[in-house]
A and B are shown apart, each in its own frame.
Chain A
Amino acid sequence: MSILAVLEQRSGQWNRMSFETLAAAQQLARELDTSASAAVLGHGVTALAGELASKQLARIYAIEHELLQDYTPDAYCAALRQAIAQFHPDILLFPHTYQVRDFLPKLATSLSRVAVSDVIAHRIDNGAVVFVRQLFQGKVSADYRFAGEGPQFASLQAGAHRADQVAAGAASVEVMRPEIAPAEIRTAPRDLFRESQRAVDLSAAEIIVSVGRGIKEADNIALVQRLADALGGELAASRPICDAGWLPMERQVGSSGQTVTPKLYLAVGISGAIQHLVGMKGSRTVAAINKDPDAPIFEVADYGIVGDLFQIVPELIAAVEKAK
């Protein structure tokens, strides 16, 4: 039994979720009484792989090829299939990033396996791993077990493991050079870009009042803005609000927007889909107002009011102004 953490980098920079995956792989290795290794793919990533030499790992694989310089699902899958054939890992763990979502199902399918995606926790049961993931936008949890032959593939949700718990040790880097032919790559990726310079840095805000689908109409946003003003905080939103153009994209919190950790995060009419929670669950205090008592936002909330936000928010504004 061996475990391989497949880490993510772009232009020589680690994706921050890579270290969460590393910590998870080490934890799983301890629980299964085996060892964890790590792999990183790219072009000129051997030095980056060397940064892992001080971690508790059996081996670090730098998978090097010039066709891995810019990510494509075809090149990544070709390289990883060869790595699997060569190193025989039993369990492969990945960070559940947009990139992994793009290639992991393809990789697993090409080996006639099914990946378990967006895992939030695991436990060992009779020597086998049970992976926990969420269904119905976080309203229900589910236990999954692999059946049939390995290798097993799982991707781990952002924030499910703590990057600061990576154990120290010593490991050496092995460079692997897969064979990839240019003709295998069917997609042509262009340069990455951002649409606009961010004028609002929500990550610096101490108080954030965030609004979601429950607000119903664009005109109602003003009500939540007044609450943000009363609290001296920034206004933010969940994805549907920004998609609808009711607030600019730069105010979006979540996996496709900003990640925030304010002292107070007050969620108004936000149900708390996974994609939103990963962007705000590190907040020191979370308060939520929602009409649905089963909304996932209450799982991460310290304080909550179940009810009609259109009745509660005006009272809240009045109470905040009185308390100052």
Chain B
Amino acid sequence: MKIVVAIKQVPARDSQLRIAPAGKWIEESDLSYEINEPDAYALEAGLQLKERHGGEVVALCAGPARAATAIREALAKGADRAIHIEEDMAAFDPLAGARLLAAALQGENADLILTGLQSDDLGYGQTGVILAELLAVPHATIVMQVEQSAGGIRVKRELEDGWFQYVEMPLPALLTIQSGISKLRYATLMGIKKAKSKEVRRVTAESLGVAAGPPGVVLERIYLPERRKQTQLFTGSPKEAAAQLVEKLKFEARVI
């Protein structure tokens, strides 16, 4: 089975974010980056499928030069090769971004394309489904489990309120993978060493013949959220803060 896993590099989860002066994006200079967590689970699902059924895992990543570290990590964990669309993605809306990914996949003849259910930065939760439509393949989202079946694959989808559902579909297909469905592997020393000699195909929007074009949606401004509630914060030593909170819970909120 030939599996492509689309990964994105995003600011590390516990980053302290500051708004850049132009108010269009965050200050990027002092951030550290990591593989978008849901995409890390998609990669893990891809590697496990390869271990079970054989084949190849190709990591696909669109992002600026710094994204090379995310690609290297994917290769070190076991991806066989990678495609890096080296591009600052700020000018690409979700549809234009997915067009880039689709163009890079031309000629790859992937059986299965996996990605995380959403990104931790923009959080559209759309790229996978858009890509499926552009590639004219069936898809399923928020997938917990993938197994091969007679005519293709059978996947377990998560629905709301504790409900699940199996869906069957032919290959090629695209799946967006739920976070937390398995344990993520670490890159081994051997893996890290091997990664250095693995192939990374570098392309750009220009070499793929895809332009960002006029956007369908425009991100006008970003800002820190207005607080919906005035939070009373208790300071001091842990003991003092705890005492103040308990007093409020007892006499103001009356829940103790």
CA distance A178 to B67 in the complex (A): 45
The interface on chain B, measured as residues whose beta carbon lies within 8 A of the other chain's beta carbons, has a size of 81
CB pair B233–A110 under 8 Å, yes or no, is no
CB pair A256–B165 under 8 Å, yes or no, is no
CA distance A145 to B93 in the complex (A): 12
CB pair A101–B125 under 8 Å, yes or no, is yes
Question: B18 → chain A, closest Cβ, in Å?
Answer: 10
Tell me if B65 counts as interface (CB < 8 A to partner A): no
Q: Which of A112, A303, A308 contacts B234 (CB 8 A)?
A: A303
CA distance A282 to B170 in the complex (A): 42
Question: A194 → chain B, closest Cβ, in Å?
Answer: 5
CA distance A112 to B130 in the complex (A): 10
CB pair A302–B253 under 8 Å, yes or no, is yes
CB pair B218–A145 under 8 Å, yes or no, is yes
The interface on chain A, measured as residues whose beta carbon lies within 8 A of the other chain's beta carbons, has a size of 95
Tell me if B54 counts as interface (CB < 8 A to partner A): no
Known: A110-B133, A117-B124, A244-B180. A303 touches B255 (CB 8 A): no
CB pair A264–B225 under 8 Å, yes or no, is no
Tell me if B90 counts as interface (CB < 8 A to partner A): no
Which residues from chain B contact A204 at a C-beta distance below 8 Å?
none
Stretch at the interface among B72-80, B155-163, B188-196: B155-163
CB pair A305–B160 under 8 Å, yes or no, is no
CB pair B220–A312 under 8 Å, yes or no, is no
CB pair A312–B93 under 8 Å, yes or no, is no
CB pair B160–A296 under 8 Å, yes or no, is no
Tell me if B114 counts as interface (CB < 8 A to partner A): no
CA distance A146 to B239 in the complex (A): 51
CB pair A305–B234 under 8 Å, yes or no, is yes
CB pair A192–B253 under 8 Å, yes or no, is no
Which residues from chain A contact B17 at a C-beta distance below 8 Å?
136, 139-140, 294
Tell me if B34 counts as interface (CB < 8 A to partner A): no
Q: Which of B120, B125, B170, B180 contacts A136 (CB 8 A)?
A: B120
Can you name the residue of chain B whose Cβ is closest to the Cβ of A193?
Answer: B164
CB pair A101–B160 under 8 Å, yes or no, is no
CB pair A296–B225 under 8 Å, yes or no, is yes
CB pair A148–B216 under 8 Å, yes or no, is yes
Q: Which residue of A239, A256, A286, A324 has the most chain B CB atoms within 10 A of its CB atom? A: A256
Q: Which residue of A101, A114, A308 has the most chain B CB atoms within 10 A of its CB atom? A: A114
Question: A92 → chain B, closest Cβ, in Å?
Answer: 14
Q: Which of B125, B140, B158, B249 contacts A264 (CB 8 A)?
A: B249
CB pair B122–A135 under 8 Å, yes or no, is yes
CB pair A98–B141 under 8 Å, yes or no, is yes
CB pair B163–A194 under 8 Å, yes or no, is yes
Stretch at the interface among B103-111, B204-212, B240-248: B240-248
Tell me if A168 counts as interface (CB < 8 A to partner B): no
Question: A239 → chain B, closest Cβ, in Å?
Answer: 7
CB pair B139–A315 under 8 Å, yes or no, is no
Q: Which of A74, A274, A300, A307 contacts B228 (CB 8 A)?
A: A300
CA distance A207 to B255 in the complex (A): 8
Tell me if A255 counts as interface (CB < 8 A to partner B): yes
